[in-house]
Every structure is written in C-alpha cells, then in structure tokens.
Amino acid sequence: MTPKLFARVRRFQRAVALAKQGPSPDWGHLALACGYFDQSHLVRDFVTFSGLSPTEFARHRGERVKENKSRLKIPMAIPSSSTRRRPAPK
C-alpha cells in the first residue's frame, strides 16, 4: 500500500468513526473536519472504499440500530491500479 493510499484509508476511517457518533451527520462539516477538500471528495472515497454512499451508510446504520443487531460492518475495498483515474488522452 502506498503512503498516499494509506492516508486516504485512514482519513476515510476517521470519517466513518465521526459519522457513527451522531444520529444524522452533517456530511459537509464532517468532510472538512476529516481533511477532505469538500463533500464530493468525501463521497468519492466513501463509495470507493465501502461501496456505499454516505446517505446509504447512514440509512443502513439506522436500520441496524432499530433492529438492535450487530454493528454495521463496512467492507474495505482497496482500489486497484485499474480503477484509478488516468489523465485523458490529448
């Protein structure tokens, strides 16, 4: 794992931890608190690493709390080199 990818994963993990603290997170403020440039930057990493949008995460988390089941487990998918964005050809 490259240092840059490691930093992205840690930032994402911090965002998940903060999102779990409140019933309805303010995604914009949470993104800035975790070091994301903006909310869309957070959403992009959320989908990349968990396969869920932040809204889907909050919805599933709410369902788990209501059902009193185990904590929501977020799968961690490390993006392969083929999924990374490449510059557009000139």
Enter the pTM of the model: 0.66
Checking if the pLDDT of 44 tops 80, the result is yes
**Architecture of the structural domain at 3-76:** Orthogonal Bundle (1.10)
Rounded to an integer, the average pLDDT of 39-51 is 92
Q: How far apart are CA 50 and CA 16, in angstroms?
A: 10
Nearest C-alpha neighbor of 57 from the set 44, 70, 47, 67: 47
Most confident region among 28-37, 56-65, 79-88 by mean pLDDT: 28-37
Nearest C-alpha neighbor of 39 from the set 58, 24, 22, 26: 26
